[in-house]
Structure 1
């Protein structure tokens, strides 16, 4: 059975207005989009109307971690308006990061608090990784271990395979380690080493990640959808079309 596939709208942010992209994505075969905050925050209801008009869903959306802490009810309401299941904080700014287990454990506690509140409304909170979560701390542990904690599955995980690979870690090991926590899989791909074009990212299937090898591991996770993303494509439509076509070709 094929996974529903969503497109992360951050990928086409440099070619506004992103609402014009929705019918194009639908025609390519996408089932949903995953928006980042500027796309929906000003008027979530209007954004939902654009989705409905295009025939697209919204499984989850990226949101500021600070919003989960200080304005949880606002983002819960946005989730309800958009019809989303997942609230996904994706980042800690570099200037705010601390190289200590306590700091990252506190991030995990904030996520768990938000997850408990969201759970009352049938929603889930999930973390989205970059590469910094995989840089070892002084004690040899990794931030991701403290963010997700141990034994508490209230906080889910949207794994970004491209950033895992860029951190020098094998995505297969992380798919296996966090299988029960993974609610969505981002199939971001890396271009060949030393590639400078498009910041070294490329369409899914055009890069160095062995997706046919990883695909069986997808099925062993709790993920219920896939998300395509590219941080800086020079041609967003080419990226979007090639990525979904490749994923379908390999049976995802």
Structure 2
């Protein structure tokens, strides 16, 4: 090597070494939240063997859960079963009709079992109470947002946080307005958060990352599921990692995430085996 070439090489090497020392070291991270499960995933198992099912879930790695009905248990019985399995129930689902008709009762139950969140799993009510069934229009969704603000304030006063869980219907539009966008706009961030069902955001034709970039703090809760689109245009729920959703950018953008719940609505094998694979995928996912 000529002397001039050697000097050039050494200068380049020195500069590269210096840059390496200054530049942040980039490394992939994995999910740093306890593995959670929405208990709707085992809705057929729980009535047959409540305590045994919870223990099976704990045995395959789940630490937290979200309720979808209390299966006739008193608060003391519910909490005893969770404690015996080593699970923490941090959230629950109720539809809007129940939240409006028996909110005090549901709040008391939630406080007794130590919930952090109470989530509306389904709106389904029209502004006009005489109208039953059918799709909600924009004015209905605006009325729903007002109900959420009222309910959220009461849940907050009781020491918990109120949230809303989406499906795909919220991504319908009227006069160019996306219903979900209107819910985000009209609800008070101090009283209402959102549980993003990432799979159904995708199923509704939207990208979870875009919502997370806009206001990550409004999405402390996730439902995660994987989907494949079938020939008929409908989505099928499959084991995590076997579908079409790339969760890496979603978790990268989820800077406000506090709890993450797997929800498996259809099964390839049996519920416990599928849920085990879901959990293993999430624990290994690097982003």
Q: Does the pair score TM above 0.5? A: yes
Q: Aligned partners of 1:233, 1:78: CA distance in 2, in Å? A: 31
Q: Aligned partners of 2:187, 2:229: CA distance in 1, in Å? A: 37
Verify the 8 A CA contact 2:145 2:186 in the aligned structure 1.
no
Pick from 42, 51, 60 the counterpart of residue 91 of structure 2. 60
Q: Aligned partners of 1:70, 1:202: CA distance in 2, in Å? A: 35
Q: Aligned partners of 2:55, 2:165: CA distance in 1, in Å? A: 26
Counterpart of 1:246 in structure 2 is: 281
SS of residue matched to 1:200 = strand
Counterpart of 2:123 in structure 1 is: 92
1:194/1:81 CA distance change after superposition, 3 Å: farther
Question: Whose Rg is larger?
Answer: 2
Offset of residue 175 of structure 1: 2.2
Q: Aligned partners of 1:56, 1:166: CA distance in 2, in Å? A: 30
Runs of 4+ in 1 over 6 A off after TM superposition: none
Counterpart of 2:163 in structure 1 is: 126
Q: Aligned partners of 2:232, 2:63: CA distance in 1, in Å? A: 31
Q: Aligned partners of 1:215, 1:141: CA distance in 2, in Å? A: 27
Aligned residues: 247
Q: Report the TM-score, using the length of structure 2 for normalisation.
A: 0.79
1:195/1:31 CA distance change after superposition, 3 Å: farther
Q: Aligned partners of 1:206, 1:145: CA distance in 2, in Å? A: 30
SS of residue matched to 2:176 = coil
Counterpart of 2:257 in structure 1 is: 223
Offset of residue 46 of structure 1: 1.1
Verify the 8 A CA contact 2:68 2:93 in the aligned structure 1.
yes
Q: Which moved more, 1:156-165 or 1:11-20?
A: 11-20
SS of residue matched to 1:149 = helix
Q: Any gaps of 5 or more consecutive residues in structure 1?
A: none
Alignment of 1:94-113 (within 5 A): 96-113=133-150
* Cα root mean square deviation, aligned: 2.3
Q: Aligned partners of 2:271, 2:157: CA distance in 1, in Å? A: 37
1:142/1:46 CA distance change after superposition, 3 Å: same
Q: Report the TM-score, using the length of structure 1 for normalisation.
A: 0.89
Offset of residue 31 of structure 1: 1.1
Pick from 25, 36, 41 the counterpart of residue 68 of structure 2. 36
